[in-house]
Amino acid sequence: MSLQELYRGVILDHYRNPRRRGKLTADHIHTEGKNPSCGDEFALDVIIENGVVTDSAIQGQGCSISQASGSMMADAIIGKTLDEVQDLAHTFKVMMTIEEGENPIDPDRPGAVLGDLEALQGVRKFPVRIKCADLPWTTLADALEQATT
């Protein structure tokens, strides 16, 4: 199995079996994002306690890229401080904008290990789809802004 096939499988698994799908009932921050050009919709609930993301839930509909990205993101932010979440988001955005063959991941930098999110790097070959992968992260940025104001 090639790396590309493995990545495709990870994306399809998160799309078909999204992690943290649902709504939070405890006190939480709720943000929503839309990509009107393709119809993707994404909503995020997060609970932040003492500067740490303790829970998250996602809702939405759209293409496999946007929904898989959200599933992976919702899982990846749990247990991280707000600074670590910001660092993870930065690393993800860098990964989505670099040229193929370059490596944005500095393993010595906190929050730089993307795990399943690395499967989305193939989206760079299709610039129109980068917005799909980025939608959950833009929605997360709105949640982090609410948390710090």
DSSP string, 31-68: EEEEETTTTEEEEEEEEEETTEEEEEEEEEE--HHHHH
Domains of the chain: 3-148 (3.90.1010.10)
Q: Tell me the whole-structure pTM to 2 decimals.
A: 0.86
Cα gap 12→5, rounded to integer Å: 10
Which residue type sits at 37? S
pLDDT score of 120: 84
If DSSP codes are grouped into helix, strand and coil, which group holds residue 21? strand
**Tens-of-pLDDT digits for all 149 residues of the chain?**
666 776 788 888 888 999 999 999 989 999 999 988 888 999 999 999 999 999 999 999 999 999 999 999 999 999 999 999 998 998 888 888 876 555 555 555 555 567 778 888 888 888 888 899 999 999 999 999 998 87
